[in-house]
Structure 1
């Protein structure tokens, strides 16, 4: 059976419904990794409105992979403002990316990324970033092979479980700096 060509291109308005379908597959995949990714009951509707709005903004690039008139992958790139305290004012962010499982490891994500990276560079952006679910080992490996390096580690705490629940239930203790004989000795004393 002959391989059908996959075209990487900028999305068109008529692609959005299929992109939203793929986004649902992405969310389902992430929901299998963690309950924290479970979508709201109106998640599809909200993301559909979100991506439709973003699609028309100059700060957004939506790239799709098309095979036989069907969208089989997408990547949403955005120009994101950096915190004003940093020299680098704008970052390129890969917000969402997904390729159908049966078409992975064929270079589709890399080709969509090339489009986004060129667009970032054209817009004077010199750093691209993205977030990957810690439990998504396949994606972590794929992005690493494409040159993305760990930069920040985001931690999460469930406030309904120990130790957070225990911390919430207890009254905070006051910790005060103690000055000994006029010297500024850092020694803490807990007061009740």
Structure 2
């Protein structure tokens, strides 16, 4: 698999072929639903990230086709804590037909290296509690749970 930074010319294909399927899959695991104008929102969001030095999106290609992506950003803790930079992975997605073949790990490794080069002390991410495949990937990559995000509906 070839991994490269997302480029402006790939933005429409990226949103259609990777980002929307990822968000649909995420919505199926949560209480959230996609906004009616998700395509426009996705293009706008990722276009703004292209010129931001504190964010990165890598796309994976196999035989020229987009098959996965990872997005990360630099974060700092609240100002009362020691000032360290953290590489926060906001999204990882691999097309279902190539899962469990190393693509997710390769994309995660690219984000980790990006964070390392930018002097980040940690890599962190969030994962749905029921997403056992993703949790297994992240644990195999050396990530460990430190917190639990708990939620209660307010009907």
| TM interval, short-chain normalised | over 0.9
- Structure 1 match to 2:29: 33
Q: Give 5+ residue unaligned stretches, structure 2.
A: none
Task: Please say if 1:91 is aligned against 2:91.
Answer: no
**Contact (CA 8 Å) 1:93, 1:128: kept in 2 or not?**
yes
Match of residue 19, structure 2, among 4, 18, 23: 23
Larger relative contact order (Cα-Cα within 8 Å, sequence gap ≥ 6):
2
Contact 1:83 1:89 in 2 (8 A): no
Give the greater-gyration-radius structure (CA): 1
TM-score (norm 2): 0.92
**Counterparts of 1:51 and 1:14 in 2: how far apart (Å)?**
12
Deviates more, 1:85-94 or 1:147-156: 85-94
- The alpha carbon displacement at 1:131 in A equals 0.5
CA distance in 2, matches of 1:20, 1:74: 11
1:150 aligns with 2:123: no
Give the ranges of 4+ consecutive aligned residues of structure 1 lying more than 3 Å apart after TM superposition. Answer: none
1:147-179 CA-to-partner distances (Å, cap 9, x unmatched) read: 11001111111111xxxxxxxxxxxxxxxxxxx
**Of 118, 123, 126, the match for 1:123:** 118
Query: Which residue is equivalent to 1:137?
Result: 132
**Separation in 1 of the partners of 2:71 and 2:48?**
13
Match of 1:168 in 2: none
TM-score w.r.t. the length of structure 1 is 0.76
User: Matched residue of 2:127: which SS?
Assistant: coil
Unpaired segments ≥5 residues, structure 1: 1-5, 161-192
Number of residue equivalences? 154
CA RMSD of aligned residues (A): 1.3
